[in-house]
């Protein structure tokens, strides 16, 4: 197997199997991926830094180890991208900001250390929005439609995996920034339970809401990556002391006996465009046909999620940035600086009230799952398909009612950040214009395995994940 395009079209699972059958090498996979980066980067701008020499050295080491019988697992020798807010020893980590220009950490984030331990090849640092909340210049473009917005803030990770310039990638998710790029790029993105994956060495946006997780092209690949990334970390005070299962063990267990909730009033009607609703209804119908019980539910507390999360996010962001902004404020873009400073005018009493509201919401969600014996809740990941880039970055004053096309994105993804429960976005279909649409599953705390099982069962009945961006080989 030598054709570079054939190699980069392999899933992680397929590439791992090919390595063990000696049909290819880690060096060949890495060279093919570097060729894809060279081919696609002038257009899509997915990478902040490409680590050519390091990647090839890691690939050579993986080949030597596999030849000697030292098998580190299914990520060994696989090229992976890492979001540029994750610290990487000896590699630029600029978090999309001029305030971090030239910064090279002297240690690795825990998630990067775990990838290295699994034998993965770090192919480069993927671009992110400034401090994970601002914009990016030049804009990262979608491989599905170069005039469309590919999601934020893990934009580079989503586009790299979609454009076949990485087999998988690491993103972070404070308010949907793994799942939104996943749905807009026809990928699987997992925001695991809060504390399941260490955030040590990851530049925070809001420490009590931040999650680190994988973006891949298939559910099985995502389970492989999460298994390598997860686990308790004494360096992270919020890291959970919970054992990490083998997420592949029951992934093909089917849907018999599964109970999946849908709150139509919140997730399928307000602001959801017809094409996205149609895709989601089709996914729900297919899950029911496969044996799942679809349960109509209603949770009034969902209406509190946006205000509650935004209050927490703004205060924690302002707290983290207050000293740097006072010293280097001129290096922040004006929009990002304004966004990060908004939390300074929020009263401590408001922050405490938001923390208490979050606990009420968590209890309400937990009680709903228990009362209805739910294994998951389903919804569209976001209510719309990918908007035009020119509309996303148009000044707010020029928008109708002062709203940008992405303001409604967070309506469906915020609840899982606020509750801390796991949530996955997976490919559900396409709009009539050929744009990807993802569906979201929220699950019980530390039960990511069930979400993988549902997503994998649906994936096997469709070919959405096999579709390639129409412009990927232009």
Question: Cα separations (Å) of 397 from 27, 312, 391, 410, 461?
Answer: 50, 26, 12, 20, 45
Q: Which residues are tagged catalytic?
A: 83, 153, 177
Q: If residue 169 lies in a helix (H) or strand (E), which one and from where to where?
A: strand 168-173
- pLDDT at residue 350, rounded to an integer: 98
Sheet containing 211-216, strands listed edge to edge, beginning at the edge strand earlier in sequence: 47-50, 121-126, 79-83, 168-173, 211-216, 188-191, 423-430, 436-443, 376-380, 259-262, 293-296
Beta strands in 303-450 (DSSP E): 376-380, 423-430, 436-443
Mean pLDDT per 10-residue segment, the chain (474 residues): 85 98 98 97 96 98 98 98 98 97 98 98 97 84 94 95 98 97 98 98 98 98 98 98 97 97 94 96 98 98 97 98 96 94 96 98 98 98 94 65 76 97 98 97 98 98 93 55
Residue whose structure tokens are 């050579």: 60
Residues 6+ apart with CB under 8 A from 297: 261, 262, 263, 368, 372, 374, 377
Distance in angstroms (rounded) separating the CA atoms of residues 383 and 403: 15
- pLDDT at residue 309, rounded to an integer: 98
- pLDDT at residue 401, rounded to an integer: 58
Task: Tell how strand 211-216 and strand 188-191 pair up.
Answer: antiparallel
Structural domains for the chain: 4-466 (3.90.1300.10)
- pLDDT at residue 138, rounded to an integer: 79
- pLDDT at residue 5, rounded to an integer: 87
Residues 6+ apart with CB under 8 A from 98: 331, 332
Compute the Cα dihedral for 226, 231, 233, 239 and give only its sign. positive
- pLDDT at residue 434, rounded to an integer: 95
Question: Residue 406 has which token pair?
Answer: 């992405």
Angle, to 10 degrees, between the axis of helix 305-328 and the axis of helix 410-419?
Answer: 80
Distance in angstroms (rounded) separating the CA atoms of residues 205 and 319: 10
């Amino acid at each position: 197997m030598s054709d570079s395009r054939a190699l980069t079209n392999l899933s992680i699972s397929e590439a791992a199997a090919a390595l063990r059958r000696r049909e290819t090498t880690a060096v060949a996979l890495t060279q093919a991926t570097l060729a894809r980066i060279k081919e696609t980067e002038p257009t899509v701008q997915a990478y902040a830094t490409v680590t050519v020499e390091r990647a090839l050295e890691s690939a050579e080491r993986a080949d030597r180890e596999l030849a000697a019988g030292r098998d580190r697992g299914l990520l060994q020798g696989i090229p992976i991208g890492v979001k540029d807010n994750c610290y990487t020893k000896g590699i630029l980590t600029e978090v999309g900001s001029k305030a971090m220009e030239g910064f090279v950490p002297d240690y690795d984030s825990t998630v990067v250390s775990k990838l290295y331990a699994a034998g993965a090849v770090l192919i480069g640092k993927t671009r992110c929005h400034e401090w994970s909340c601002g914009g990016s210049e030049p804009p990262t473009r979608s491989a599905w439609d170069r005039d469309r917005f590919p999601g934020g803030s893990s934009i580079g990770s989503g586009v790299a995996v979609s454009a076949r310039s990485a087999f998988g990638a690491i993103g972070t998710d404070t308010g949907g920034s793994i799942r939104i790029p996943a749905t807009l790029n026809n990928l699987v993105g997992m925001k695991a339970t809060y504390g399941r994956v260490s955030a040590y060495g990851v530049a925070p946006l809001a420490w009590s809401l931040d999650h680190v997780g994988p973006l891949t092209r298939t559910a099985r690949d995502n389970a492989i990556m999460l298994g390598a990334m997860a686990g308790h970390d004494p360096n992270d005070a919020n890291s959970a002391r919970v054992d990490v299962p083998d997420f592949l063990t029951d992934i093909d267990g089917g849907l018999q006996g599964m109970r999946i909730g849908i709150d139509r009033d919140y997730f399928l009607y307000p602001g959801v465009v017809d094409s996205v609703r149609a895709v989601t209804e089709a996914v729900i119908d297919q899950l029911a046909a496969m044996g799942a019980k679809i349960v109509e539910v209603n949770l009034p507390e969902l209406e509190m999620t946006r205000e509650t999360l935004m209050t927490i996010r703004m205060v924690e962001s302002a707290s983290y940035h207050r000293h740097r902004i006072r010293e280097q404020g001129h290096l922040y873009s004006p929009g990002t600086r304004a966004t990060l400073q908004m939390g300074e005018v929020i009263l401590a009493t408001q922050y405490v009230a938001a923390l208490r509201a979050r606990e009420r919401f968590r209890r309400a969600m937990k009680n709903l799952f228990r009362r209805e014996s739910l294994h998951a809740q389903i919804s569209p990941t976001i209510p719309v398909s990918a908007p035009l880039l020119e509309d996303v970055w148009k000044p707010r004053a020029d928008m109708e009612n002062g709203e940008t096309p992405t303001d409604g994105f967070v309506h469906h993804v915020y609840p899982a950040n606020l509750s801390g429960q796991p949530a996955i976005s997976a490919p559900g279909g396409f709009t009539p214009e050929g744009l990807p649409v993802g569906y979201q599953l929220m699950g019980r705390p530390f039960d990511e395995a069930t979400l993988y099982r549902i997503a994998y069962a649906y994936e096997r009945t469709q070919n959405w994940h096999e579709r390639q961006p129409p412009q990927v080989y232009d």
